[in-house]
Amino acid sequence: MSVAATVRQGLWWLALAGVLALALVAGLIDSAGALSRHIGAFQLFYGLGFAGYVWLVWSRAMARGGDHPQEAVVLLTAAIVLRLVAFSGPSSEQLYRYVWEGRVQLEGWNPYSVAPNDDQMAHLRDERWEAVVDRDATATQAPLAEMLFAVVAWVYPACGSIKLALLGWEVVSLLALAGWARAAGRSAAWVVVYGLSPLTVVAFAMEGHTDGLMLAWVALAGWASLRRRWYACGVCVGLAVLSKAIALVLLVWLLIRNPRSALMALAVILIGYLPYSAAGPGLLGSFAAYTSGPLFNSLVPQCLESVMSTWSAGALCLIFFGSYVLWLATCRQLEMHEFGLRAFGVMLIVLPAVHYSYVSWVLLFAVLDLRWRWVVLSGAMVFYFEVWGVHGRTGMYQMPAISEFLIWVPLVVAWVAEEAWRAWAIRDDRRRMAMHIMGCERYHDV
């Protein structure tokens, strides 16, 4: 082995060890008090972990040769260990609501019809109820997530139990991603793009957001689609929608690629909503709450708001996104990961509110079709955590304007630079090396 190769391998292991060590420190930082009082330290650890993560992704993009099964095993194991380490970190306050909603269902009530402050729910008011946020609001999570809360409440109603269940689905996501990558002709080691991202670790293993439930079903659906198991793909897409309604975008793609599979997905969705149908309009509570709220950490809507009303900006973004998705689905023969990367990527920049965990939606597809712009955005989200500090001081979730600037400008710069690089690579004799560095071969491993 050459000196350069030895140094590169040493840096690879150092980066991997650094990500794991920093996850341990970040996961235990809450032991010194509320995390909101240590935002600077947390951001430092996140940034250092992100640096190690970028080196690992770059090393994967620069790798030559075949499947690299040993590297894949190491990275998959590291991703799982990373989540187990971060599990001890501070959780999202929403977990208390999830526990309460699970207990409500065991009492025979519909979580879309009753709110924590309802008098008929007075017998469930305890110390966990005191920690529930937005006690006047009914459930906003999708039906499959609510079913998961009920199962966890039946087993052991605690925030740690919810996190553990969601952690299990994260493991499913990682394994399904490895299989999906192999089905696309890529090394399973590409799971590093999602699995070792500090953003996904913090969002799902540490805080316990429910997006990971949807992403697990999306990964299974993508794997099934490449194997042309269309009915299985339809079932998984339906379950993804039942986990988080945003996955409806994939239903458009499925309707064009395999209409019968799309009908299967619709049947699964209808069956999943049936147990909660008595709530009527309450089932749309999450959509109403999201669309009626103020703009928060958004890119295009906030830019448009300077020249038109908020309503007009939202309507224009909706029309543009709907047209773009229909064009993608009908005019281009794309596989699910190609469609998802583009559709969810554009969705991120036109949404009226973007929380840091939403970037995971794109990182999932980037495992099969790397785009460095989304890796950059996952790192820039380190400035999102200023919201936690503001909430700790004022009790309100507000994003400092400078934080929004520092989040979105790197994405725009990386997007322009990446597209310019690709345009140059197509025209230049060194196209193959450039495409190799960008990690963007379509079906074969690099």
Average pLDDT value for residue range 45-53: 84
- At 180-191, the pLDDT tens digits run 999 999 999 999
Q: For 167-179, what is each residue's pLDDT tens digit?
A: 999 999 999 999 9
Which residue do the tokens 């590297």 mark? 71
Write down the pLDDT at residue 88: 80
Nearest CA to 197 out of 297, 79, 276 is that of 79
Flag whether pLDDT at 282 surpasses 50. yes
Please report the pLDDT score of residue 31 as a whole number.
42
- By the 10 Å C-beta count (0-12 exposed, 13-18 middle, 19+ buried), 222 is classed as buried
Q: Which conformational region is residue 396 in: left (phi greater than 0), alpha (psi within -120 to 50 degrees), or beta?
A: beta
Q: What mean pLDDT value characterizes the chain?
A: 85
What are the domain boundaries of the chain? 3-438
Angle at 200 between CA 394 and CA 359, to 5 degrees: 75
Q: Given this model, what pLDDT does residue 41 score?
A: 78
61 band by pLDDT with thresholds 50, 70 and 90: confident
* Residue of 253, 164, 199 whose CA lies nearest to 374: 199
**pLDDT interval class at 25 (50, 70, 90):** low
Predicted confidence (pLDDT) per residue in 349-400, tens digit: 999 999 999 999 999 999 999 999 999 999 999 999 998 888 777 777 788 8
**Residue whose C-alpha is closest to residue 374's, from 348, 350, 403, 353:** 348
More confident residue, 288 or 355: 355
DSSP 81-98: HHHHHHTTSPPPTHHHHH
Res. 209: pLDDT tops 90: yes
Question: Is 81's pLDDT higher than 60?
Answer: yes
The 10s digit of each residue's pLDDT in 11-20 is 555 566 656 6
Pair 241, 247: CB distance under 8 Å: yes
Question: Is the confidence at residue 333, as pLDDT, over 60?
Answer: yes
